[in-house]
Chain A
C-alpha cells in the first residue's frame, strides 16, 4: 500500500487543525456572549454543538498527529510527540 506523501500528510494535519481552531473559536466567542446573556438557550445549544465537535476532532487529531493537550497523551510515544513536535508559535505548526 502506498504511504501518503509527507506533504499531503502535512496538509491533512493543517486542515484538521483549522477545523479544530474554528470550533474552538466559535465555542470561545459564544462563551463570551453567554457570560452576559446566560439565559439564551439557542446560544448555549450552539456552544454545546461546537464543544462536541471540538472534543471529537481533537481526539482524532491526537491519534493521527499527536495530542493538543496533555490529557490526550496515550503512551510514552505520545508524550514525545507532545513535547517534540513544533510549538504553536513555529511556522511549521500552523
Chain B
C-alpha cells in the first residue's frame, strides 16, 4: 500500500521559468531512461523476486522513483509556469504546448510518449537486476547530459541530487546481484553452473532447503 506525504523528497524552487530547459528535463519523466519507467520497472519486477530482501530493495527503490517522478514534474511545471503561448513558442515548446498546454504528460525530450517498451520485467531475477544496474547508469548519463546544458543554479541543484541517487541505487542493486548469485550458487541443481535454473520459476518453494 502506498500513502502520500505532502512534501517533495528534495525541495524544488525555481526562480526563472525556462521552457527550453523544461523540454529537456521532460525526458526524465517520460523518456527511455526516465523516472516513470524506473518506478514501473522495479515495482513490476518485484513479484518474481525469490529473495525477499531483494524484493524489499525493489519496493523501496521503486517507491523512491515515484518521488523522483514528482520532483521532475515539479521542475517542469515551475519552469513553464506563467509563460504566454508566444513565450513558450519562442522557447521551443510549441509542439508540446499544442497537445498539452502547460500540463504534465510523460514524453521524451524528442516528444515520443512514454512506453512500457522502454523497460523489461523478465521474471528472471538475474536478468532483471542486471537490467536495473544498466538502467541506473542510463539515468545517470541522461542527468549528466542535462547538466552539460542547464545553467540555472536552481535546476542544477535538483538535477545533481537526482543524479546522485542513481549512483546510490546502482550500488544497492550491485549488492542485490551478489545476494542472488550467492543464493543460486547454493541451490543450483548443477554445482558447476549457478545459472542452471531460474530461481523464480524452476525451483519452488521460495526458500528451498540446501542440497544434502
Contact = CB atoms under 8 A, between A and B. Distances in A.
Interface of A: 17-18, 20-21, 24-25, 28-29, 31-33, 35-38, 67-70, 82, 87-91, 93-94
Contact of B60 (A25, A31, A90): A31
Interface of B: 3-14, 53, 56-57, 60-61, 64, 70, 73-74, 77-78, 81, 168-169, 172, 175-176, 179
B76 to A, nearest CB: 9
23 contacts: A17-B11, A21-B7, A21-B9, A21-B10, A24-B5, A28-B60, A29-B168, A32-B61, A32-B64, A35-B56, A36-B53, A36-B175, A37-B175, A69-B5, A82-B6, A88-B7, A88-B8, A88-B74, A89-B70, A89-B73, A89-B74, A91-B78, A94-B12
Given A32-B60, A94-B12, A94-B13, A17 B172 contact: no
Contact of B53 (A25, A38, A68, A70): A38
In the A-B complex, the 9 residue pairs with the smallest Cβ-Cβ separation, listed nearest first, are A89-B74, A36-B175, A94-B11, A94-B13, A35-B57, A35-B56, A88-B8, A68-B6, A32-B172
Nearest to B58: A35
A22 to B, nearest CB: 10
Given A28-B60, A35-B172, 7 more contacts: A35-B57, A36-B172, A36-B176, A36-B179, A89-B77, A91-B14, A93-B6
A3 B104 CA distance: 39
Interface of A is mostly: helix
Contacts of B4: 69-70
B168 A68 contact: no
A67 B6 contact: yes
A91 B13 contact: yes
B125 to A, nearest CB: 14
A54 to B, nearest CB: 10
Contacts of B6: 67-69, 82, 87-88, 93
Contacts of A35: 53, 56-57, 60, 172
Contacts of A94: 8, 11-13
Contacts of A25: 9-10
Contacts of A69: 3-6
